[in-house]
Structure 1
């Protein structure tokens, strides 16, 4: 389980048997929005080729191939030896998930840029996934009418209470984690708890 200072990326249905902790080197490798997107797609949908991923992200296969090689160099993806040929390389994630403690990097001036790019990429990725669902809403109505939800709220909490809340939410999520069964859909869950500055006149 990650703490509120952690950023955690998990493959849907994964049992968290293979989790990598990001270090400074791998953080730099993920400091690129397209690499975050490619890794997310491989974890969510399984092995793919550079050309197949290129079609999905709107880039050239040369571009996706180069970024996949960068991810491989840093141990985040690897070739899938059970697929493909000499002319067609398939890629898969090396771990089902990864996590990091933001506090381990935030005070390092050399990592300020990579950390900001990575975190911003995660937020953009979250927005893109939610926007895609809204765009595809008609096709989900039969099965998911009144089932999907977007929820946000504002609470008055101390940092310790926010930590306790996050741990409770994550414990609930873990209770529902299992392998895929017939009839299942991949369900995305997002959780965040962070402070917001008050209005200037309230300071």
Structure 2
């Protein structure tokens, strides 16, 4: 088996159109396909699951998650950028399993008190660097909390590497979760509530 063979993944058809439109808006921070492939696979393990994506962007990760979900599952995706969410709605809004919310992530997390999810992908500051404990508290027993961009990225602002290191250390030491760090794609952490 070759390395190239191991790197193949099935890409949802809509990805090319979403990527083209997001780049036209100047948005180049979408999750990479390897991350999407993992999200799809993990989503498939949560039959009838309740999913949350913090940081929709233009919907690339959203489309990967939806492609792994069964028909009994539901996904809420949240972002504050209406122009990007218009792309999400145009290409994915027909999917009855999807709820698209335009709101500040911190405010949205604050509004979810008591709600529980089987799967949370935190791909923005809210739920990852801010309101982390509140977000982790929403993960059901056996549920996933996933973050990416844990390896150094070219678009990180000055000082962000220390924030990422602190986040990694905090998550590694969290006693309520099993933790796996993946030095793969942009660097992922996968947590499962005990």
TM-score (norm 1): 0.27
Structure number with larger C-alpha Rg: 1
User: Which structure has more strand as a fraction of its residues?
Assistant: 2
TM-score (norm 2): 0.28
User: Which structure has more helix as a fraction of its residues?
Assistant: 1
